Structure 1
């Protein structure tokens, strides 16, 4: 057991421990392990290098809330964020952490009328969370004073730099007292951020947490081998079989997000699309529904998902493979947050296999290959979930409003007939096997019994699809090769052959290597499977 394996080791109040337990926070994340003890001591500034989703808000929020007096006579803590969306998220998270402590938390951001914010400020504020531009607006109008601030938090400093807010931040710094404790969080540390820290911070501690470490600890990674046509049905089955599914589904294009979200809606799922075509109001409305669980599925592009920080996601699904390993790591790092286990699922088509393999190598990930749930698996899962929900209603007595109607039905019909009829009315035909389309996990029916192979030669060496059959036959000594599909790239190729011939080709080329790897091998490198077992 490590020194900080539990929040109880931080000497927090029982009230705060109760709040954390209610939120389901039992084990502190690495950034919380580093930051909370330092802030509780209260004598040094902190620079934290950590990305969104590492538990930053709780890392600074828990000790700040613990140490505030809560009189609202003056602003005691200021948190600066680059966007109004993040300002709202941070203020909501702090609100959930304060429990029954009498402190006021006020968000201040652009896009909302200043007079409405002024009305809120007249009641006092202990913690202000705001965007630099709007904070400066209130300072110039004399609506707020920052000379009593004990804590100044700069969240996502590199984003503020990218958005051109650094000069505004410096101006805000000049309005605060010199004895405050400063915290600067940034995913990267460009030179202007380092200069900012050196100029405005006193003696400080530097802490760093990599997202890869968090992924390894809290994220279960799974992949499915699918054709493009199989993806949507696989998605539906995975949602059905995971009771309480609450997740992000990533696509690469805006049109895909709309199409998939619409198809999910037609199937009866609570889903919506998040992409760059939305107005800010539309975006905030969708995110509000998602955070309050009126939506449990959000289909998004990478760009549109920036700034989303929802700590209780059960799943992240890569419906489309991202363009690079960094995006892959960032996507899957959105689940498994706040010390809770999450699952990252990736759909891999045959054309994606080499790129996916490189992502896994870069991330140093252990990824497990699984089969798509069968129809029977889905039906069993839905039936168990339904039985569990009914048992819960009976335990809580929430059926009382329907007792009169139930008695009327039972007076006229046998009980089993009434229950069966109600089940028919509720489920219709969705619990029948033929309701679900056929889906062969891993490859389409027309590819059944065939294997896709990687061949370490491409058009850089004058190879073409027309030349490939003769080349493989000559090198392997197999004269009746049945090559189905042939894809030739710059330095390698893919071929699909019957399983028996694939086994023979692998055997014949077993001793032939190129660039320290087998000349012919399965399209998904066997090293990936070996890594999953370690």
Structure 2
């Protein structure tokens, strides 16, 4: 796989690269040099497990990767059917991540919808009457699937944030329900955490690439 040392080496879409630099990012962190390219350049898409400690740039890595992977052609997709899900363990992280993605997507016509505790289910359902490229949330996302308002037929990428979650068996169980509700044809699953222990999620990964910091 191509070795990358800079954001230009990733060959990102032009407006995404503008957003990256506009956000103030100047160079790739070590973990970003390892994990972004396997997510965005493999065809068929490869599952990726990215392991490093907090503060090493994992959030930016998966935000850039998903913004590169999604299709911006609004005519090709249905309302309420995101192309990417980001699943987080807490509503605080859901808020942080959704805002981070929006900032990097400043020059892109990308819709990012957060859903977690404290967010109105009614307002979320109304928002899903529009195109939403990315939905970010906790395991409460399963509620939207049960209500049949979150359509997973176009889902191509699931990002799972497991940082600090080794003990959250219930979190993993809900994630597995979301995966099982998805169309698994060419579904790419990427796990980001601080430990190689990714629980029962591992059984759903197809020959994953492991990207780790020593």
TMscore range, shorter length: 0.7 to 0.9
Cross-structure match for 1:128: 135
Structure 1 CA distance for aligned equivalents of residues 175 and 200 of structure 2? 13
| Residues 154, 184 of structure 1: 8 Å contact kept | yes
Cross-structure match for 1:96: 103
Cross-structure match for 1:57: 59
Q: Of the two, which has the highest radius of gyration?
A: 1
Structure 2: stretches of 5+ with no match in the other structure:
none
| Residues 47, 206 of structure 2: 8 Å contact kept | yes
TM-score (norm 1): 0.37
CA-CA distance at 1:152 after TM superposition = 0.5
Cross-structure match for 1:24: 24
Which of the numbers 197, 209, 212 marks the counterpart of 1:208?
212
Which of the numbers 188, 193, 205 marks the counterpart of 1:186?
193
Q: How does 1:72-87 map to 2 (within 5 A)?
A: 73=78, 74-87=81-94
Query: Aligned residue pairs: how many?
Result: 204
Q: How does 1:348-497 map to 2 (within 5 A)?
A: none
Cross-structure match for 2:50: 48
**2:198 counterpart of 1:196:** no
1:53-81 alpha-carbon deviations (Å, 9 max, x no partner): 21112212212212312226221000100
CA-CA distance at 1:195 after TM superposition = 3.8
CA-CA distance at 1:88 after TM superposition = 0.7
Structure 1 CA distance for aligned equivalents of residues 62 and 47 of structure 2? 12
Which of 1 and 2 has higher RCO (CA within 8 Å, sep 6+)?
A: 2
Cross-structure match for 1:150: 156
CA-CA distance at 1:11 after TM superposition = 1.2
**Residues 155, 124 of structure 1: alpha-carbon distance in 2 compared, 3 angstrom cutoff:** same
Structure 1: stretches of 5+ with no match in the other structure:
211-534
Worse-matched range after superposition: 42-51 or 100-109: 42-51
1:11-70 alpha-carbon deviations (Å, 9 max, x no partner): 122222221221121110111101111112133110111233211122122122123122
Secondary structure of the equivalent of 1:164?
helix
| Residues 81, 129 of structure 1: 8 Å contact kept | yes
| Residues 76, 126 of structure 1: 8 Å contact kept | yes
Secondary structure of the equivalent of 1:129?
strand
Tell me how large the CA RMSD over aligned residues is: 1.8
Secondary structure of the equivalent of 1:154?
strand
Cross-structure match for 2:15: 15
TM-score (norm 2): 0.88
Structure 1 CA distance for aligned equivalents of residues 190 and 105 of structure 2? 19
Structure 2 CA distance for aligned equivalents of residues 161 and 141 of structure 1? 28
Runs of 4+ more than 4 Å apart: none
